[in-house]
Each structure stands twice: as structure tokens, then as C-alpha cells.
Amino acid sequence: MLTLTGAMPEGITPENLMNNIMDTFSDKIHKQNSGSFSVEEKSVGAQFNKLFGRQKPIHNILGGGKSADVLLWRNKKISASVLGAATAVWVLFEWLDYNFLPLVCFGLTICIIGQFIWAHLLGGSPPRLVLSDELLERIATTVGGEVNRALGFLQSVGSRGDIKQLAIVCGSLITAAIIGTWCNFWTVIYIGFVAAHILPVVYEKYDDQIDNAVYNVLGKLQNNYSKLDASVLSRIPKATGKKYA
């Protein structure tokens, strides 16, 4: 089952995911063309009509924890506060032309002065802000694992000789590069953050309509790809390794 916690489960590759989507859609079209459904076939078809074969609620797919509650607006005050904070940061960097390093330095300066006033002028004991070693190790392990998984996938794409997968990955990277020329890094991050707070809750509310629309689009893409494969891609020989004595 596909999760949206930042990484794909072990054993699932983007190629397998795309093949599962196409296979599911092909089975659905084949059953529709057959003209009749049994009661069991209808129940099974209803399960697999969900996007990516989804059978669990979207809340469980997002992890089922506090992060899922925030993304799905279970607590509107917290979700609005998080989105508002992200918007404030984006406004500081984009509209007010603040730079990251001066902003961090000014923030640290204010914190140090506040600590000094609290300790020496007010005679209190200022709070100690420390990140635990366990938290830092967890962050490093998670980030390092995701980077290694991405590098391994890219290496696999370049060495397997699969023209279809190579075209999909290169097209995705070129699309991302084009989007990057329209706006800078912070804007791209902010757009992704806003999308993460809008798309899941919209999909949870209108999942049936969105699933049907996506399958209709995939059907058209499948037909176009079949024509392209029959006329062009099927004639391209796949790369094979040379054998040496």
C-alpha cells in the first residue's frame, strides 16, 4: 500500500506503481466492455476504483498521527497557524526581500539579548533550548536514507536500459527544471507546502469524483501511449549488456 509519508515502501518502485495503475485501469475497461458484472466483480471493482488501489482512509495513508491531523484540518486552529507561519516566512523572503542568513543572525541576536536580560537584570533562570541527540540522529538517518534511495533509483534508471522509464524520469526532471525557471526555491517550497495543506483535504471530501476523473485521464494517456508504442517505441531496441570472453 502506498503511503504519503515522504517515501515509498520498500519493494515498490515508481515503475511498479505506474504499471499497477495501468493494469488496474485496463482490468476496469475490460470488465466494462464485457457487458456484465457479477456481484463479486462489482464489489472488487469498487475497491480498486480508488486512486492507486487505495483501500484505507486518506488519514491512515498520511500516517494517522498529528501530521495527518494538521494536513486534513482536523484542528482548524493548528492547521491555520502552521499555514500562516509558512506564509509569513514566504512573505519575509519574497515580498520584503529578506535574506536567510541576516534573518537568522538577527533572530539569534535577539535571543541572546533576551537571555542576558532574563538572567542578569530580572534575576531569573532562562530556559535552556537543546535538541536531543536522539532527535538529531533520527533526522540524519531519515534524510540520509531518502537521499540514498533517490540516488539508487536514479542509478537504476540510467543502467537498466528501460527506454520508457528513462523517458518518464527525464521528462519529470525537465518539467521540474522549467518550473524552477519561473520561480525561485522558496516559492517552490511554499507552493508544495500549501498544496500539502489543500490537496489531501479536498481529495478526502471529493475522492470519488477525483478518482473517476483521474482514471478518465489515464485512459486517454493509455490510448495515446499504445499508439506511440506501436508506431515508435516498439521499434527501438532495448540496450543489452555485451558479453566478453
The per-residue pLDDT of the chain, averaged, comes to 75
Query: What's the pLDDT score for residue 207?
Result: 82
Q: Taking residues 114-141, what's their average pLDDT? A: 84
Query: What's the pLDDT score for residue 46?
Result: 43
From the list 154, 199, 217, 203, the residue with the least C-alpha distance to 15 is 154
Amino acid at 242: K
Give every CB contact of residue 188 below 8 A, 6+ residues apart in sequence.
Answer: 179, 180
Q: Taking residues 9-20, what's their average pLDDT? A: 51
* Predicted confidence (pLDDT) at residue 33 exceeds the cutoff of 70: no
Residue 135 or residue 56, greater confidence = 135
**Quick one: angle between helices 185-205 and 76-94, nearest 10?**
160
Q: Taking residues 210-234, what's their average pLDDT? A: 81
Q: Taking residues 201-209, what's their average pLDDT? A: 86
Burial degree of 62 (CB within 10 A; 0-12, 13-18, 19+): buried
**Would you list the DSSP string of 168-193?**
HHHHHHHHHHHHHHHS-HHHHHHHHH
Cα–Cα distance, 188 to 179 (Å, whole number): 8
Question: Which tens digits make up the pLDDT trace of 81-119?
Answer: 999 999 998 888 888 878 878 888 988 899 889 888 888
Helices (H), the chain: 14-34, 39-48, 58-61, 66-71, 76-94, 100-116, 133-160, 163-182, 185-205, 207-231
The ranges assigned to domains in the chain are 13-55, 99-129
* Predicted confidence (pLDDT) at residue 39 exceeds the cutoff of 50: no
Lowest-confidence region among 50-54, 65-69, 125-129: 50-54
Cα–Cα distance, 4 to 15 (Å, whole number): 17
Query: What's the pLDDT score for residue 29?
Result: 47
Question: pTM of this prediction?
Answer: 0.52
Lowest-confidence region among 142-156, 207-221, 227-241: 227-241
Cα–Cα distance, 152 to 158 (Å, whole number): 10
